[in-house]
Amino acid sequence: MREEHVSDLPLAILVNPNAEDASMIVEEALYQHWQLLVVGRCSVHYVGRAESKLEPGERTLIIKEDGSLLVHRSVGYEPVNWQPPGCVYHSHVENGVLDIQAVRHRPSESVKVSFDRIFLVSGMSLEDPGEFSLYASEEDMHKAILVSPSLLEEGFKPVSYEKKVDPGFLDVYGQDSEGRLVVVEVKRKTAGKQAAIQLAKYVDSIRERADRQVRGILAAPDIAKGVQTLLSNLGLEFRKLNPKKCAETLRQSKATKLATFFNETKTDNH
Amino acid sequence: MREEHVSDLPLAILVNPNAEDASMIVEEALYQHWQLLVVGRCSVHYVGRAESKLEPGERTLIIKEDGSLLVHRSVGYEPVNWQPPGCVYHSHVENGVLDIQAVRHRPSESVKVSFDRIFLVSGMSLEDPGEFSLYASEEDMHKAILVSPSLLEEGFKPVSYEKKVDPGFLDVYGQDSEGRLVVVEVKRKTAGKQAAIQLAKYVDSIRERADRQVRGILAAPDIAKGVQTLLSNLGLEFRKLNPKKCAETLRQSKATKLATFFNETKTDNH
């Protein structure tokens, strides 16, 4: 057994400890609400409304600061066992075996991880203030406009999206508050000359068949130098459309749907 | 920096290494297809059809033997970034920063994790032959009988399940190959006296209203000592029904539905 106490590190770690020594780090981490990491040979027994058993093997256990639990085998991105935040933990050593048990109510569930060999145990006090930002794909940007048309402009009414027309596919197609047709070309990065020319082709194609005025809007987070002039000369417009904002719009719309779903449905968790 | 070489351990580990030293374990683990574990301060940049950025913070990176990737923050059971098996990896050190990049094609995606501080890095060669067994809940056992009625007996045709009758709820209700009504009471553990009496009440309640013969079947993985005699005296039957078999039946049925779905639908991954 080697014990590490590196003063400027936010972690306590033991390599190859026996169960008793490992349990000291485990107890401390659970008590302090540190992230706990245990790598070793374990079996896992889950009991809830269903039940599962995982025979012994060498795996990674992570218990997070919020009490969520993950047991990971050495292949596959999904955990073989997991529990959401809010579990209450008990640990116990008997006959050289370290048991760590997560217990949860509503639904009543329990996951017991029993280590008979421990390679590595570490309690970690991690700081993570970093913001996570998601930027939508172009397709998601189309959907965001459909979900929240005011992202483009007030009064815009989408009619269809990814619509086939002669030179290709229109990203979004609709009409504005004054009843004019609107053709929208979406780019998720700075829009260049090519995007302006593409939009002009689509607008021309629609104008040939339309009985009313047709507007063309290029929607992108930014426009390349000089392309604004080209757009104006072509009688087209630019709208700033942010992939991050689009991602947030879609996430909110999904969250709303989910909230509606949960209010309308009596669900019981598995 | 402390370096650990514990001869009987299936892992190489460094605590508090600099980026150059850490990268030696990283390179070795990726080359050998060991599981790689890195805990430290990192930022993450994902680029695919969408894009995400995670600002610096202290996190846990796991790259598994099959090339799947997980980045875990210290709260929440879901990884903040992940990739399925089959990624190809590159690592690189520059200005004291260790970059580990996962690249995938179809869809074309890349996740870059950049560590500017490493608390712990470990390459692990884990053995995990253990079988995972899932045992269904009682409700899942009902569903398994609906999906595959021969679990109960050949020719059984379920009509309804969790049906309200006078003394409570019938688990499964149907008719047999000879047209007799069948009332099924399901238990996921050894069925005792109470289960037999409950079933008798349901059968009596149905018999009062039925125009034909009514059978009662108690379905459970096992039956308690002496209860078989009680059942026979009550004119009822026992069928062995295994929660593990039920879980497999449901999983197969879901897999079939999924396969059908993928064959019928042109999907494109996000």
Share of chain B above pLDDT 90, in %: 73
The phi, psi pair for B43, rounded to 5°, reads -115, 160
Burial class (CB in 10 A: 0-12, 13-18, 19+), A63: buried
Interface contact A1, partner B, CB < 8 A = no
- Packing angle, helices A243-264 and A138-147, rounded to 10: 60
Tell me how far apart the alpha carbons of residues A71 and A62 are, in angstroms, rounded to a whole number.
7
**Is the CB of A54 less than 8 angstroms away from the CB of B132?**
yes
β pairing state of B214-220 and B237-240: parallel
Residue A216 pLDDT = 96
Residue B8 pLDDT = 74
Interface of B with A in 44-83 (CB under 8 A): 48-60, 62, 64-66, 68-70, 72-77, 79-80, 82-83
Tell me how far apart the alpha carbons of residues B118 and A15 are, in angstroms, rounded to a whole number.
17
Give Rg (Cα) of chain B: 28
- Packing angle, helices B243-264 and B138-147, rounded to 10: 60
Interface of B with A in 183-212 (CB under 8 A): 188
Q: Tell me the H-state helices in B33-153.
A: 138-147
**Which value does ipTM take for this structure?**
0.77
Closest chain A CA to residue B127: A58
User: How far, in whole angstroms, is CA B146 from its chain's centroid?
Assistant: 21
User: How far, in whole angstroms, is CA A18 from its chain's centroid?
Assistant: 38
Of B25, B35, B2, B20, nearest to B98 by C-alpha is B20
A178-201 exposure pattern, b = at least 16 Cβ within 10 A, e = fewer? eeebbbbbbbbeebbeebbebbbb
Interval B184-218: pLDDT, tens: 999 999 999 999 999 999 999 999 888 899 999 99
Q: In tens digits, what is the pLDDT along chain A, a chain of 270 residues? A: 344 455 678 899 999 999 999 999 999 999 999 999 999 999 999 998 888 999 999 999 999 999 999 999 999 999 999 999 999 999 999 999 999 999 999 889 999 999 999 999 999 999 999 999 989 888 889 999 999 999 999 999 998 888 777 777 888 999 999 999 999 999 999 999 999 999 999 999 999 888 899 999 999 999 999 999 999 999 999 999 999 999 888 888 776 665 554 444 333 333
Residue with tokens 């796991």: B62
What does DSSP assign to residue B190?
A: -
Q: Say if CB B73 and CB B88 are below 8 A apart.
A: no
Tell me how far apart the alpha carbons of residues A246 and B28 are, in angstroms, rounded to a whole number.
41
Q: Which two tokens stand for residue B189?
A: 């553990």
Nearest CA distance, A82 vs chain B (angstrom): 7
Calculate the dihedral angle through the C-alpha atoms of A164, A170, A172, A173, rounding to the nearest 10 degrees.
-70
Of B56, B84, B58, nearest to B70 by C-alpha is B84
Q: Which two tokens stand for residue A160?
A: 């269809």
The SS3 call for residue B74 is coil
